[in-house]
């Protein structure tokens, strides 16, 4: 696999000799996902008609951070959703304890996807979907209104997710609810975050990965989040998912070129 940086450049977790193979394996909750191609009735209907899904076989995952990138419609959110459902999360997001359904919209991909598990199980986890995060906040309020236990919102910072901005509530989620020893699946988290807060979120990811044995799989368009050192990046454009370097991503290349010469882009765009 092509990676940005090596394991030796990542540093240890918690200051010990945690870069050993045994420690690395202990944090690998999902080693890979595998499409059971012989069980798929047809690759003609959606989502199997998406080129990246149609060509999918087995997708190894990094024990720390894996990023899925691609143009809109490339299948990255569809694949992440299927991984989340196979891993035991609610299709609309939340922890594994959430079982609400506002409107069924998930594809059937998860029915034919198999998770290749590591030797240990995560103790925590969360599936974040930017498009349904509002529904997660509503479900928390509903459950707390029913009572029967400590307020769930206390685990999210104690303030209703609806009484904060989208970015504030997401950072509160990451700071208070992501407890470590966890598997965190995030679909376009940058939708809620300014560039400054994306950098703050990278610091949270780093702490959870390096010191609290956590694993992230992130579908993103953000050149900031993609820049996490050592992340395994898969491009879903143009067929089977393929590992690429950060500097090969379209997100990095276009952002770099635009910032270097925005006038050149404007001349071309506006002339057209």
- What does the pLDDT look like over 59-115, one tens digit per residue? 999 999 999 999 999 999 999 999 999 999 988 777 777 555 555 666 899 999 999
pLDDT value of position 175 = 85
pLDDT value of position 151 = 63
Is residue 207 within 8 A of residue 175, CB to CB? The reply is no
pLDDT band at 131 (very low <50, low <70, confident <90, very high): low
Which has more pLDDT, 12 or 168? Answer: 168
From 12-26, 76-90, 120-134, the region with the lowest mean pLDDT: 12-26
From 41-55, 63-77, 141-155, 249-263, the region with the lowest mean pLDDT: 141-155
Q: Say yes or no: domain 7-133+180-271 is CATH 2.30.40.
A: no
Residues 120-134: what's their mean pLDDT? 79
pLDDT band at 224 (very low <50, low <70, confident <90, very high): very high
The answer, yes or no, to whether residue 10 has pLDDT greater than 50, is no
pTM score = 0.81
pLDDT value of position 143 = 58
Residue-range domain boundaries for the chain? 7-133+180-271
pLDDT value of position 94 = 79
- What does the pLDDT look like over 140-194, one tens digit per residue? 666 566 666 666 666 666 565 565 566 677 888 888 889 899 999 999 999 888 9
């Amino acid at each position: 696999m092509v990676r940005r940086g090596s394991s030796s450049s990542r540093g240890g977790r918690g200051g010990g000799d945690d870069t050993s193979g045994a420690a690395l394996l202990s944090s690998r909750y999902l080693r890979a996902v595998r499409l059971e191609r012989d069980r798929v009735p047809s690759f003609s209907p959606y989502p199997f008609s998406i080129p990246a899904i149609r060509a999918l076989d087995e997708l190894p995952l990094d024990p720390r951070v894996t990023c899925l990138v691609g143009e809109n419609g490339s299948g990255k959110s569809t694949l992440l959703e299927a991984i989340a459902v196979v891993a035991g999360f609610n299709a609309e997001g939340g922890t594994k304890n959430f079982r609400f359904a506002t409107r069924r919209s998930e594809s059937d991909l998860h029915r034919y996807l198999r998770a290749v598990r590591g030797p240990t199980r995560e103790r925590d986890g969360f599936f974040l979907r930017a498009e349904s995060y509002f529904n997660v906040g509503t479900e928390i309020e509903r459950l707390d209104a029913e009572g029967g236990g400590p307020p769930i919102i206390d685990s999210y910072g104690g303030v209703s997710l609806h009484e904060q901005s989208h970015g504030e509530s997401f950072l509160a989620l990451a700071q208070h609810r992501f407890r470590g020893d966890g598997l965190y699946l995030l679909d376009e988290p940058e939708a809620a975050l300014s560039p400054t807060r994306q950098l703050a979120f990278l610091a949270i990811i780093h702490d959870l990965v390096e010191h609290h044995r956590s694993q992230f799989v992130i579908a993103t368009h953000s050149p900031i989040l993609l820049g996490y050192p050592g992340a395994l990046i898969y491009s879903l454009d143009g067929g089977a998912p393929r590992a690429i370097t950060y500097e090969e991503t379209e997100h990095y290349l276009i952002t770099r070129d635009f910032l270097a010469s925005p006038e050149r882009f404007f001349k071309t765009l506006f002339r057209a």
